[in-house]
Each structure stands twice: as structure tokens, then as C-alpha cells.
Structure 1
């Protein structure tokens, strides 16, 4: 699409991209980068600002060139003692609503681009009652009068808590355009009466990231295996010492210990919250095989930015992924993959690629079973790579089509800015009103 020139004398359309940006999650930041760079490269008359639901935002290097606002309140405004924080929480909802209202009204449109907006596994942008109320207000304000509200390639699952589900559904009913990351996400929201059967199913927008053209490494020399970890909510809130005793970390340590005599291993995460799990895993392995072996045969990557993760995977034969966007990075790299799943989205992606047999469950993880899957992938590496690369090309086309849908929305919004509302709300055409 050719770049557009600014409409003479008019202020640019100000669009907020809403999500968990700058919180240390590489998937959220990669989504922001893909969408914002596309818009800035194709629309001279659109100003893009990232709007994060984070309380405290420290942008990662992948988005530090993009303007960012946070809906959360500054940390210094909270109580400094336990009693102070408890008292403060009584007023948090009211203060948050006022902040959401003030910030959202600064934009002509608010667009949710990707993310697990309605996941029930404690990672949702609208997680918790305060978040759900804030999300509802954002949708309400963004769809009021000359404002606009849309969602692109979002994901989630059925929500059990009735009030939060009600607020989510009402929020989604204000969107003039909706599409979903996968069929399971769409089915979940349709089942909650917050979407229609003709809403579009796309793919994760991060698949619009160009695939790395660098050649995959040959299989000469020791195997290289990357182990991607995740701090699942059910692992608890303890630090490395407590996490080291969990069955999940112990099983991964079994795998690393088995691999080290013949392979080199990299350990990495996809969110800053994963750091204690990485530390716990390395400690356990070091206690079993010794410091010198770990020093020479184990690499600790931390949680590099998404593009850096894709680059590093160029030298890896097999990637074991617990986080969804680490799995996406492996797909973009076109390497052998195994998924340690605790999310519907992970299972869906592997099923689309025809490699459901390479999915193991995170809960009750069996180290020996995972070792056997790794050996299977190594033995059939070309076939696995072919399946992954074919699926990635299909998903890339779908993600690019979604970006073109966004182009159409931006064009329409710009044309209708001075002639009244540019769309008819979808609230009227949805089925029955959601109930608690």
C-alpha cells in the first residue's frame, strides 16, 4: 500500500493500541512493534500511541522508539505500608476509572491488537474486577460519539466469574470490528454472547514478522536444544529456592541432565516473571552435574526481546517451549518444536501445524517422556521443520490480511472524522443481552 499524505491542515487521527506493553512480556511488545510499524509505514495521517494497562511501565528495547502511556497509577501514589496499601485499595477502582476516562478521551480510536484479552488463566488484560471495569470503561468511552473501538486477533477462553464475564462481554459488544487469534477464542466469546458467528478468525499478528532468511544450522556436532520456561500461576509465588522443588522444574532438570553429555542447552523465558524459574532450573542442574559442566554447556539467555529470540534460535536444532510467543518465535525460525502446554492457544497452534503429538502437558510434566519427544524430533527434523514452515506461511498471510483490515478501518475513520460517526454500533446486531 502506498504511503498516504496528510490531509491538508487536519490533525492526524490519534489511535491508541491497547495491551500489556512494556511489562516485560516479549509477545505483547512484539505485537506492538508489528502493528505500530505497519501503521506508521502506511499512514502519514495517523498518530500511534501505545496504551498499556500496566501499573509501572519500563519499555523494553523492542518498543522504546514508540510513545507509550500507562493506564495504571504510578507506584509512588500507593500506600507505603501494608495498612496504607489496604486502605488505598478501597479507592483504587474509583481512581482507576477516572484515569481511564481521562486518558481514553485523548484518542480518536482505541484498538486492541492481539493479546489474551479474555484468558481465564490469570494472564488476561482484563484480569480481576478492577481490570474488567476499566476495560469496560475503555470500550464505552472509545465507542462514544466520534470515538472508535475495535479488536484485532485477540484471544481467550470462557470466563467463569459472572461479573467479570458480564463486563467483558459488554465491552466486546461495543467493538465495531472484531477478529480472533484462533477458532477456540472466537467460539469462547460467541458462547458468552459477546461475538457473532461471522466475526473473523485470523492468526496472531506477530506472524506478520518477516521470517529470518538465515540458513538453519547443519546437524554436525553436538545437538543444540533450547528449553523455554514459564512461570505458570500454579507454580506459586515463591522464589528460586521454592520453585526448584516443583515437579515442573525437576522434570526440566531431568531433561537437561540427560542432554548435557551429548548436547549443549540454552535456557530462556518470554517474560520478566520467568527469571526465578530460569534461576531455579540452572541451580538444580548445577547441583546435579557440577558448576563446570553448566558453565561450558549451558547458556542462560534470560528473556530476550522477540526479534532477538528468533535470531538466537537460528543455531538451535530443537526448541522446547512453555510460552506461546516463544513457540511463535520457533515457528518463525522454522526449527523443530515441542510444546509444554498449559494454554489452549499453544495446543491450537500445534494442532494447526499437524504436530499435536509433540505437545506435552505442563502439569505433571514427565522428564523421560519429554526426552523421548526430543529424540523423535531430532530423528524427523526435516519433516517437523517442513510442517512448521508451511503453517507459518499460512499464518503470516492471515496476519497480513488483518493488518490490511486495520488499514481499511483507519481509512474509514479518517474519512468520517468531520462528518459524524463513521460506523453503526454492533450492539444492535448482536444476539441476546449477556446475563450474569
Structure 2
């Protein structure tokens, strides 16, 4: 695949990648798989949160997203505040220079158009706006691929997100509520499509043999404090979530069930430690997954999964394991409904251990039927993502798309 002057097409990948979030890195892995299979001659690099991790794991050159290395630390001293301010200015020129070196930039999945977790407008929303604005300025095609979106109350954040979406050359969403949210925020979504999350295109580990009674339960946890609109009661939300999760794990242990605690981000380790400390039992163990593949291996070996993080849910559903979702945003409810498990959702902000255990029992009674449903839905997701990758080639790499069409012509 080459550009108009005959040189290889230069593709950039952008986002909070390599920063400890397994879901984000899974989306990157999915797009790299597509590029290496369909456009092997492309020259690929990244502008991301953890460049050292991305280069070491994925073998592509990477540049740090922010000039200021303390970008995501709270600034209280005058020097730190000044450094943040200067960093915002420097990042304008750094982002512009990086974008200008590429023909195409892909934002691989992630919830880049939402604020369902605490988020400041001058953090990632500002970075995304710089990307899309400089992409338009230098005629570099920017694609938001299977991204998540949600209605945003904070006006500066909403404005930055809205303009980022408007300036992108290609947009697709990982669920219908995401597209609806962008339409409600004033973005023309007439030509935008909805596809499954990119993680559904990743390889699935082979199914494990049944563990036998009593079967293992994987419990995915999160350092959950609510979202942007919950800052005033963040501590209360966290206590309720943690206390309810501890009670639920104790109930499982009381029935002799082995419990495997799973995370999805480095920040979740404190929740795992709190549960292990509160439930002192050899039946409770914790995994240290380094990728979505690690998560899927754990979940494929379980009888049942109960999880809160979005990509933990995806990993469980993709392996065909009956799953109960502790939901904190519409994206989780939409995912569960799409996969045929819409009845098995529980609100994270009002976690009730007794009610959660009732839902768990109901889920396990339907285990065989749900596994069959998940097999069918996973096949459909794979077909849809294959369609998206063809559409992406046509939108971003028109020369390659024309060549492919000619090859396929009878």
C-alpha cells in the first residue's frame, strides 16, 4: 500500500495506549492485526500515553502524548500548575508535527467521546481535539473507529468532544447509544455506522473443560468512584460498591465456590487488596492479567463471570461464559443486550449484594442456553467487524480499496 508519490502510507495510532488499561491496549492490538493483515506495507507509529510499553509490546515506534510528564497528576504547587499550562501550549505544536508526518491517523476504539468516568476537559478531550483539528488542517484523514460516546454535561468537555467528532474524516461507534449521544450533541451521524467493539476481532482462547462442581467464578473489579457528575459523592459510591462486592464474594465462598479476582487497569489493584484482606479464604485468589488475552484465558476457565469493567465484560462474553454485568454506564447495558444477556445487569452505584446473588443464581440456572446464545452472537459480531475493516480500507486507503476491488473482479 503506497501513497500518491509511491511511498508507503504512513499510519498513526492515537490514544491512551500503553497506560495500564487493558481494554485500550486490546483495541490497539485489534487495529494492528487489521493493518498487518490488510496493509502490511504501511509504516505504523503511535502517539500515546505509554510509548515505552507500546513499543516493547507491539513493536512500533511511539511518541509520548503529552510534553508534561505530570499531566495526570494533581497540580497544587505553582510550578506544577505552570508546567501544565506550558504543556498545553507545547502539545499544540508537538501534535501538529506528529499528525503532519502521517497520511492517516486511527483512534482505535476506547470511550474517547464519553465522560462516564471522572474526566477534565483539558486532559484527553483537549488532546483529541488537537488531533482532529490538525488532521483537518494538514489533510490527514483521522478515523474514530468503533469508539464509545455518551451525553456530556460539562460544557467545555462537550464542546471539545463535539468538535473532535465533526472534524474526523471517519466515525463509527461500538453501540447505538453512542451514535445517538453524538447526534444529540449536534453531530451529523447520517453516514456513521455502528459496529461491535474492536476487541471482538481478537483471537479467542480454546474453550476449557468444565471445572466440575463447585465451579470457579471470576469476579472482575474496578476502582469505581462514579462518573463526572458524581464527584460530590464519589467516596460514598466507592464504599457502597466495595462493601457490596466484598459481601458478594463472601457469599460465594460460603457456598464453597472458588473465586478468581480480575482487574482491567493498574488502578484496580487497591480493590483486589481490600477484598483479599476482608475475605480471608484460600478459595479467593487474584490474577495479574497483562492483556485481554490473559483475561480471556481466565474467563474461559470459569463457570460464570461477574464483572464491572467494560472490556472485562467483552472478554467474558467473547469466550462464551455466562456473565452478570455490574453496570455504571449505558455502554455496558447496551453490550449485554446486544449479546442476549440484557436481563443480567446490576447497577454499580446501588450495588445490593443480596439482589446480586439472586441474579447470579438465576444466571447459572440458564447457563447452557446462554452459552449457545453467546456462540451465535459472537459469530455475528465477527462478521460485522470484518465488514467494518473493509469499509475502513475504502474510506482511508482508497487506492488500496480500488486495487482490492480489481483483484476480486471476475
- How far off its partner does 1:219 sit? 5.6
Pair 1:49-2:45 in alignment: yes
Distance 1:43 1:168, change over 3 A: same
For residues 56 and 317 of structure 2, the distance between their equivalents in structure 1, rounded to whole angstroms, comes to 19
Q: 2:129 pairs with 128, 136, 146, which one?
A: 136
For residues 322 and 76 of structure 2, the distance between their equivalents in structure 1, rounded to whole angstroms, comes to 49
Work out whether residues 243 and 249 of structure 1, in 8 Å CA contact, stay in contact via their aligned partners in 2. Answer: no
Q: Aligned-pair RMSD on alpha carbons?
A: 2.9
1:37 aligns to what?
A: 33
1:150 aligns to what?
A: 143
For residues 146 and 208 of structure 2, the distance between their equivalents in structure 1, rounded to whole angstroms, comes to 30
Work out whether residues 260 and 297 of structure 1, in 8 Å CA contact, stay in contact via their aligned partners in 2. Answer: yes
For residues 147 and 367 of structure 2, the distance between their equivalents in structure 1, rounded to whole angstroms, comes to 32
Q: Secondary structure at the match of 2:152?
A: coil
- How far off its partner does 1:215 sit? 3.1
Deviations 1:12-45 (A, max 9, x none): 1111111211011111101111111221222133
Distance 1:285 1:15, change over 3 A: same
Q: 1:365 pairs with 338, 341, 351, which one?
A: 351
Work out whether residues 211 and 302 of structure 2, in 8 Å CA contact, stay in contact via their aligned partners in 1. Answer: no
Pair 1:274-2:268 in alignment: yes
TM-score, reference length from structure 1: 0.83
Q: Secondary structure at the match of 2:363?
A: helix
Q: 1:248 pairs with 241, 266, 269, which one?
A: 241
Work out whether residues 30 and 306 of structure 1, in 8 Å CA contact, stay in contact via their aligned partners in 2. Answer: yes
For residues 76 and 397 of structure 2, the distance between their equivalents in structure 1, rounded to whole angstroms, comes to 50
For residues 123 and 337 of structure 2, the distance between their equivalents in structure 1, rounded to whole angstroms, comes to 35
Distance 1:364 1:216, change over 3 A: same
2:408 aligns to what?
A: none
For residues 56 and 258 of structure 2, the distance between their equivalents in structure 1, rounded to whole angstroms, comes to 28
Distance 1:58 1:266, change over 3 A: farther
2:85 aligns to what?
A: 90
Q: Secondary structure at the match of 1:178?
A: strand
Q: Secondary structure at the match of 2:17?
A: coil
2:407 aligns to what?
A: none
Deviations 1:256-282 (A, max 9, x none): 111114210000110111111111111
Deviations 1:319-352 (A, max 9, x none): 0010010111001110110000001110001111
- How far off its partner does 1:133 sit? 3.1
For residues 41 and 210 of structure 1, the distance between their equivalents in structure 2, rounded to whole angstroms, comes to 14
Deviations 1:158-211 (A, max 9, x none): 112223222222221222221111110001101112232331111111111133
Q: Secondary structure at the match of 2:325?
A: strand
Work out whether residues 29 and 63 of structure 1, in 8 Å CA contact, stay in contact via their aligned partners in 2. Answer: no
For residues 277 and 208 of structure 1, the distance between their equivalents in structure 2, rounded to whole angstroms, comes to 30
2:106 aligns to what?
A: 111
> What is the correspondence of 1:188-267 to structure 2 with a 5 Å cutoff?
188-212=181-205, 214-218=206-210, 220-234=212-226, 246-261=239-254, 262-267=256-261
For residues 154 and 304 of structure 2, the distance between their equivalents in structure 1, rounded to whole angstroms, comes to 39
Deviations 1:400-435 (A, max 9, x none): 21112222234316699xxxxxxxxxxxxxxxxxxx
Work out whether residues 226 and 328 of structure 2, in 8 Å CA contact, stay in contact via their aligned partners in 1. Answer: no
Work out whether residues 146 and 195 of structure 2, in 8 Å CA contact, stay in contact via their aligned partners in 1. Answer: yes
- How far off its partner does 1:46 sit? 1.1
Structure 2 unaligned regions, length at least 5: 403-410
TM-score, reference length from structure 2: 0.88
2:405 aligns to what?
A: none
Distance 1:27 1:48, change over 3 A: same
Pair 1:332-2:318 in alignment: yes
For residues 169 and 21 of structure 2, the distance between their equivalents in structure 1, rounded to whole angstroms, comes to 28
Q: Secondary structure at the match of 1:111?
A: strand
Deviations 1:287-346 (A, max 9, x none): xxxxxxx2x311211343100111121210010010010111001110110000001110
Work out whether residues 217 and 316 of structure 1, in 8 Å CA contact, stay in contact via their aligned partners in 2. Answer: no
For residues 140 and 354 of structure 1, the distance between their equivalents in structure 2, rounded to whole angstroms, comes to 39
1:69 aligns to what?
A: 63
1:290 aligns to what?
A: none
Work out whether residues 218 and 298 of structure 2, in 8 Å CA contact, stay in contact via their aligned partners in 1. Answer: no
Aligned length: 395
For residues 414 and 136 of structure 1, the distance between their equivalents in structure 2, rounded to whole angstroms, comes to 28
- How far off its partner does 1:143 sit? 2.3
> What is the correspondence of 1:410-429 to structure 2 with a 5 Å cutoff?
410-412=396-398
